[in-house]
Structures are given as structure tokens and as C-alpha cells.
């Protein structure tokens, strides 16, 4: 921000500042053809107020300012992206306003959802089944301990909330919600031996009984590969096309 000089922003003594008109030039390019151009005055540099050397302010040398001032911006708790902070009368010559627009940076953990914060929390299968304690770092360099009581099962994709979001604007003693989406990580294949699996099966709820008939074909699912599935579908179509239109069929009909 600018600071006025001793001349109170005039650039010179009273009566030493004159009005200047933009330079205009008229050229005749031919009979009945006139071209008019306008350029910046070299005396006033486009400010339309030339100041004679004798009348210039010694403090600012005609620049009307002598220095800069640092504005301190106070960002209140709960302010959001795009919110404006206005400094009235702090612009050029202490007449215009300065408007600060907040630009929120992205954060690796939390994202805005209206008034609330959202985040994803990864937990192991044993934590989802047998309770957990998970520390979460907050934006104010603090931490909260997220806990799940024994006996409460957290399923993959469950959404929970705690009252530990951002402070509410103009009500910093209140907080918005922190919305947490849980992602359960399952063990890798083959991590448990067969005897442990049988023990685990005894601890889990019983399987649903199923009646198998002779009309059922047993199939084993495999990991899905979109490229392989498209190629398999193409191969089946090509095989059916060959059956409907065998090679040499046209030659046989001609002969």
C-alpha cells in the first residue's frame, strides 16, 4: 500500500500541477482521407498532470508517493475459499479499496463438503471386526483419537461422523462435522494356513445352508481383466461367424 508524500498526493506545489491533454496527431493520407492517432504524452506519462521541475515535490519528485505500507490480513477461523477481505480507502492515494480474495490450498487428507470436512480412513479387517484406535492429525497441528468400541463392526464403505470439523465462521467455539468414510483392507490370499482358517470359521457366524442339485455347474471366479474379457467375447463372435459362414462356401455355391 502507498503512503502519501508531504505534498498530500499532489506531486508538487499548489499551482504547479497543470492539466495535460493526450497527444493527438492528424495525418492526411490522400484527398479526403484524414487519419487521427493518439499517443501517450511523454511529459506526464499518461497521468494528464505534468509537473514542472521547479514545482515538483522534493519528497516524492512528482510521484505523489514516497514508500509502501504493509497490510496485515487477519483470516478468521472458518473462512472459506473465495471469501473476500476489504481494506477500505487503502488503495492508490488512499482513495481506492484493496480487496483480498482467499485461495484455499488443497489438503492431502481433508476435503470440503459444504460446511463439513470429509476424509477416508483405511483400517484392517481385524480392526473392523475387533475394535480399533486410530489417531488423526488435525489442521491446527493437533490430533484426535478415533475409537471403535469392542463388538461394533465397521463394514467397508461405512460412513461415520464426529464433531471435530472446522470452526464455524463467526462462531469459532462451534465446530462442523468431520465425515469419515471407512475402507477395510482384507488380508492377501494365502496368508492363513488351512488349520487357522478352520478355526476362524468356527468363530464366525455359520454359513448359510445351501441345497446342491445335479443341474448346477461348479464354476470358480477369477480376477476380472477387461482386456481379456473383450478378447474372449470377440473370439466367441468370430467362432460363431465361422460356423454360420464356413470358408469356401461362396466357391462351393459358384461351382
Domains of the chain by residue range:
2-68, 111-185
pLDDT at 37: 62
pLDDT at 183: 94
| Candidate from 28-42, 122-136, 199-213 with smallest mean pLDDT | 28-42
Q: Reply yes or no on whether the pLDDT at 195 is more than 60.
A: yes
Q: What CATH code would you report for 2-68?
A: 2.10.230.10
69-101 burial, b at 16+ Cβ within 10 Å, e below that, comes to: eeeeeeeeebbeeeeeeeeeeeeeeeeeeeeee
Identify the helix (H) or strand (E) that includes residue 241.
helix 226-244
Judge contact between 143 and 136, C-beta under 8 A: yes
Q: Reply yes or no on whether the pLDDT at 73 is more than 60.
A: yes
pLDDT interval class at 248 (50, 70, 90): low
**Structure confidence by residue, pLDDT tens digits, 149-177:** 888 899 999 999 998 888 888 888 888 89
Judge contact between 20 and 50, C-beta under 8 A: yes
More confident residue, 104 or 123: 123
Q: Reply yes or no on whether the pLDDT at 48 is more than 60.
A: no
pTM: 0.54
Task: Assign a CATH topology to domain 111-185.
Answer: HSP40/DNAj peptide-binding domain (2.60.260)
Report the alpha-carbon distance of residue 102 to residue 110 in Å, rounded: 18
Q: Same CATH topology for 2-68 and 111-185?
A: no
pLDDT interval class at 255 (50, 70, 90): very low
Report the alpha-carbon distance of residue 219 to residue 19 in Å, rounded: 93
Judge contact between 56 and 11, C-beta under 8 A: yes
Judge contact between 144 and 152, C-beta under 8 A: no
Q: Reply yes or no on whether the pLDDT at 238 is more than 80.
A: no
Residues of the chain above pLDDT 70, percent: 61
Q: What is the mean pLDDT of the chain?
A: 75
**Structure confidence by residue, pLDDT tens digits, 80-95:** 888 999 988 877 656 6
Look-up of cell digits 463438503: 113
Q: Helix, strand, or coil here: 94?
A: helix
pLDDT at 56: 66
For residues 108-123, give the mean pLDDT. Answer: 87
Amino acid at each position: 500500500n502507498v503512503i502519501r508524500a508531504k505534498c498530500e498526493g499532489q506531486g508538487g506545489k499548489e499551482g504547479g500541477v497543470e492539466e495535460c491533454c493526450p497527444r493527438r496527431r492528424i495525418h492526411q493520407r490522400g484527398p479526403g482521407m484524414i487519419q487521427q492517432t493518439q499517443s501517450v504524452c511523454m511529459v506526464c506519462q499518461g497521468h494528464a498532470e505534468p509537473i514542472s521541475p521547479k514545482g515538483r515535490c522534493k519528497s516524492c519528485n512528482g510521484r505523489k508517493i514516497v514508500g509502501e505500507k504493509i497490510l496485515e490480513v487477519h483470516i478468521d477461523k472458518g473462512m472459506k475459499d473465495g471469501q473476500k477481505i476489504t481494506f477500505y480507502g487503502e488503495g492508490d492515494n488512499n482513495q481506492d479499496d484493496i480487496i483480498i480474495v482467499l485461495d484455499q490450498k488443497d489438503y492431502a487428507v481433508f476435503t470440503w463438503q459444504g460446511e463439513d470436512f470429509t476424509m477416508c480412513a483405511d483400517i484392517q479387517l481385524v480392526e473392523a471386526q475387533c475394535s480399533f484406535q486410530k489417531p488423526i492429525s488435525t489442521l491446527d497441528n493437533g490430533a484426535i483419537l478415533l475409537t471403535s468400541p469392542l463388538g461394533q463392526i465397521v463394514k467397508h464403505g461405512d460412513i461415520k461422523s464426529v464433531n471435530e470439523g472446522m470452526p464455524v465462521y463467526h462462531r469459532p467455539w462451534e465446530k462442523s462435522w468431520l465425515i469419515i468414510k471407512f475402507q477395510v483392507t482384507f488380508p492377501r490370499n494365502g496368508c492363513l494356513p488351512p488349520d487357522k482358517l478352520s478355526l476362524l470359521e468356527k468363530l464366525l457366524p455359520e454359513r448359510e445352508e445351501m441345497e446342491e442339485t445335479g443341474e448346477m455347474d461348479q464354476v470358480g471366479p477369477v480376477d476380472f481383466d477387461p482386456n481379456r474379457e473383450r478378447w474372449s467375447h470377440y473370439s466367441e463372435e468370430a467362432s460363431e461367424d465361422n460356423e454360420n459362414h464356413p470358408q469356401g462356401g461362396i466357391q462351393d455355391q459358384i461351382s
